[in-house]
Structure 1
Amino acid sequence: MDKNRKWKWLLFGVLLVCSIWMVTPPGDIKDDKGNIVKKGKINLGLDLQGGSSFLVQVDREDVQRKLKEKESNVSLEDEVERVREAAVEMIRRRVDVSGTAETEIYKEGNDRINVRLPGVAAEAHAATREMIEKDGVLVFKLVDINSDQYVAELMTERPAPDGFTMGAGYYLREKGAPKLTREEYEKLKDYGDFPADLMLEKVTLDDGTEIYRPIFIETRIMMTGADITSAQTGTDPMNGGFTVDLKFGKEGTKNFADLTREYAATESRAGRQLAIILDDVFYSAPVLKVPILNGEAVISGSFTADDVKQLANILRAGSMPGRVKVIEERTIDPTLGKASV
């Protein structure tokens, strides 16, 4: 009887140890020098770890407009679903490139996507939203040869666009005016009824003041960023500013060489300016002094370190198949989650 009781207690002890081991989070794994090589932790979800969540919706008006432009017979609902399927994967790629782990991205309803990002701090919420909503469409266009003339007429004959005040050859954003949206940039293209698109170059002065210089761009797209194989953050050797350094694949390298060869400076003409535009936002327009044959390009502008990091991530991940917009968002405080563990 005592022997049986002994074995029962022994079995109970073994089961107890195993149970404790199974529910106890693994500890940190260290090397011979005591450095942590693998962090031991419980993988907490959004409700426990805290973070950000976004409810994203496919822009039906944008989908419908593009169907009309293509004169497609595809139904609106079928095209919305195609865009949503592709957008789910694109958001996932952008989130993965940014380094966010343990994400939940899934479809909801007929045209929505739920994005749950554990661990994304409140201060990173706005940047994450921007990353999700950006089209990520990079295009190269020529600066109109009459741009200077059009700018002179614009500044002398037209009032400043809504939300801006007039400066000496530039515009200033009115105090309290919200950040420019892509819809506002689109509307600005037609301001003044010129035969070219009006765009604004944002420049940050030494005192921190942001000004917007008007420039007119040809409407035709000379090339897109569809064949980008690499997008890395860099530094401008001339002024120390932040840049995004691009590298094209085989086809893109050939197309970029043909484009720059056609419009580069020669003995008989000056080189044209090639505008670099992402999501209808003008970034720079370098003069084509010589053909660029190595398939490399640089995006420069008034960037912060965070700006170029986000741009590089978006360009590496690729462009959205159609527009999406955040219709609901929230930030979850991790305090409750920590207390629950």
Structure 2
Amino acid sequence: MGTGAFYSADVLEPGADWRLLVTDRFLGAFGPSTSVSTMSTLWRIAADDALGLDALVGAIPSRGVAAVDSFAIAALGRVATFVVRGGGCADVSVGGRVRRVDARGSEPWYVAELTGVERFQLGPLQRSPGDLTRQARDLPIDGGVVFGPWLGWSSEAAAAPRSAPTPVQQPAQPPLSSFDPHDTNVLGDLGRRAASLRRHRGEPPATAPTPETESATAFRLGDRAPERVDAPVYVGRQPRSPRVTGGVLPRLVRVDSPSREVSATHIELRPTREGLVLTDLESTNGTVVRQPGTGVRRLESGESLPVVPGTLIDIGDGNVIEILAYR
């Protein structure tokens, strides 16, 4: 069977094509400015079965001249994980209904997990998704890196028998050097999977993050003393750690909830190089967030959101967590 991936044969103006990456586990569309060296690194990681989604996303430069400001990645599986940033998006068909997953202005990225995915396309926000079905002129791709306006996948194509390879005349490509959001169905326990996205540089796991490698933030729960966030923090009535990653032991913070408004493991706070990321771990009653200058919003089940000092997180039963700058 093939990977189920395909891409458009349309030829765009020089420098406008996205870089499209395909393996049997990952599909990715990266903005036109993505460098050769970055794509080479991402290909090596995506093709290595020993490395996961966290390593792939962590290897994408987010600062400096090599920064990739727009991308969309899909990790295939029973539950498909989508990670998007900037001008990248994923148009996804679930139950015959097309939903768009975009970054919603979130930094450094936005994550969603969807079950029952039938087909999807990755690419720029400006494109119109249509019905996401593969057209006769679209080109199949079983693996590698190519240029194109967008990258697609369908479960029907993935299940079809692999036919004998036929040479395809590819259009000439320029060298690399020339180069409704609320309708999104966000599902899954990001605490177990995509919310653990972290920078991967190939070094052995550290015993703990350091001030030089992680953002300096802290949190305060009610009238308790502030605690620095130098490892993943799980908060709930009876919190449990979904897993231990990178040799860093997570911190479990128990809260009282007489009316059981707070779930057993309600939220995760995870430090990253770009800042602190809050994830609602499929809580029963949701998580209310008030960020400085942006008002109040309720996180959807499984949704991740970067948070800054001054943010207030209400998980229910009077339990309010304040995000602080670490001094």
TM-score, length basis structure 2:
0.22
- Considering only CA atoms, is the larger Rg found in Structure 1 or Structure 2? 1
Relative to its length, the structure with more strand (as a share) is 2
Q: Which has the higher contact order (CA 8 A, sep 6+)?
A: 1
